[in-house]
Amino acid sequence: MTGEQTAQMLTALAVLLVAVHVMGNAFVRMRQPRVIGEFVAGLLLGPTLLSALFPEAMAWIFPDSGPVAAVLGAVYQLGLLLLMYCSGAEIRSLFDRGERRTIVGVILGGILVPFLLGLLLISIIDAGTLRGPNANPESFAIVFGIAIAITSIPVISRILFDLGVIGTSFSRIVLGAAVAEDVVLYVALAVALGLAESNQSSPFGLPAVLSPDPASGWNIAYHVAAETAFLGITLLLGPRLLRRTLSVRPNFLGRVDPLALQLALMFAVSALCVVLGIAPMLGAFVSGIIVGTAKSEAVIQSRESIKRFSFAFFIPCYFALVGFQLDLLHDFDVLFFAGFLFFATAVKGASVYVGARLAGERHPTALNLAAAMNARGGPGIVLASTAFGAGIVSRSFFASLVMLSIVTSVLAGIWLNRIVRSGRPLREERTADGANEARAETPLMS
């Protein structure tokens, strides 16, 4: 790398870092999710604004090829892996909470119905302009269904925290359902990515060794079986192996630096996924879940250190680089997006509402759950960026997917903020005999 290239790289990283934190804090002050501000920072730096106004200067800072582009690509990939790792680590405390009947109703309504209706819609409309170069009907249909069904854990949890209701039964229902949804949908996304890779001319790992016939349907069966088996085996054996590794004397790395051990685990499991033909993001997600089960104080402190540094640099830069790829001036179809937004929010909201009502919740609570579960935020952007990077979706549909994540998150925040500030309950508590009682849950903070 030459001196000029080194200067370009350092300038690009400095500009990204300042932009994401300035815009992130600005959105927090406007009571909007920080992640949206980070994405907007990249959007402003890219072809939508600054690269269109100052093309030569921005091309010097953010070149399309060469060592600097390679470094930014590595930051992008590491940001995605660390985001998935941190999201997985947060799951440890959400599976054993109460309100199971409502959670089950919201999960069934929030995943199954939107996903199936998404598949139905894509079988009716002409999706030729929405597909990317590596898409086949199965991989694109899976991505489209996920886009309708996904909910954001980081965004909705941040909204609930800012509103001071993070410890209430309403927040436990929302986060418990969102966790289960994300586990299922990330597995489905890994299947779609695997199917897209099988369309490419040079497959890698176990799928390349097995060399299946694409026309036989073997690809779908393999990827569904591979992701399901990987998830089941790693979640069953991973926590036990980690506990044994931490307790044995030869575990030099874990004793000297538990933080390095966690990063090594994430990289190793993610690399194993690549060999198996599974998206590496699923490996990082599972690694976070495994590490989240550890009770060692050293592991917990190291995990928090990884989160602090990741959310200070890699993860914000990842979202900014997603926004940097987006050109709203040329790739955004406003009319298509309006219809897509209406369909996605109506289907997801109605499905969650019906699921909550069938679980025994009253009308106002079901409406609030429907609004909260519609926030797609970070996971929606992850879906858009990974599907676009794998060639499953076109550039125009990539823009619509990202904007869907942003708009639904903003709408969810506005709805919940209005309810809390009006003094109405987000969820009506239940009396001892099971009846609903219209009593507001007290916010934890103003």
pTM of the model: 0.77
Residue with tokens 């501000």: 37
101 domain-assigned? yes
172 domain-assigned? yes
| Contact by Cβ (8 Å): 149, 121 | no
Mean pLDDT by 10 residues, the chain (446 residues): 91 95 91 82 91 90 91 92 82 55 87 92 88 88 92 70 73 78 78 71 65 54 79 89 76 70 92 86 87 85 90 91 87 92 95 92 93 85 87 93 89 87 80 45 43
> Smallest Cα–Cα separation from 265: which of 247, 298, 239?
239
Beta bridge partner(s), residue 429: 437
438 domain-assigned? no
* Predicted pLDDT of residue 442: 44
> Smallest Cα–Cα separation from 21: which of 414, 319, 302, 306?
319
Our count of domains for the chain comes to 1
* Predicted pLDDT of residue 87: 77
Q: CATH number, domain at 134? A: 1.20.1530.20
3 domain-assigned? no
What one-character DSSP code corresponds to residue 31? T
Q: Residue 89 belongs to what domain range?
A: 11-15+17-428
4 domain-assigned? no
Secondary structure of residue 334 in the 3-state scheme: helix
* Predicted pLDDT of residue 33: 73
CA separation for the pair 349, 372 (Å, rounded): 9
* Predicted pLDDT of residue 158: 64
186 domain-assigned? yes
Neighbours of 215 (CB within 10 A): 7
331 domain-assigned? yes
* Predicted pLDDT of residue 208: 67
Please give the structure tokens belonging to residue 203: 């497959």
* Predicted pLDDT of residue 253: 58
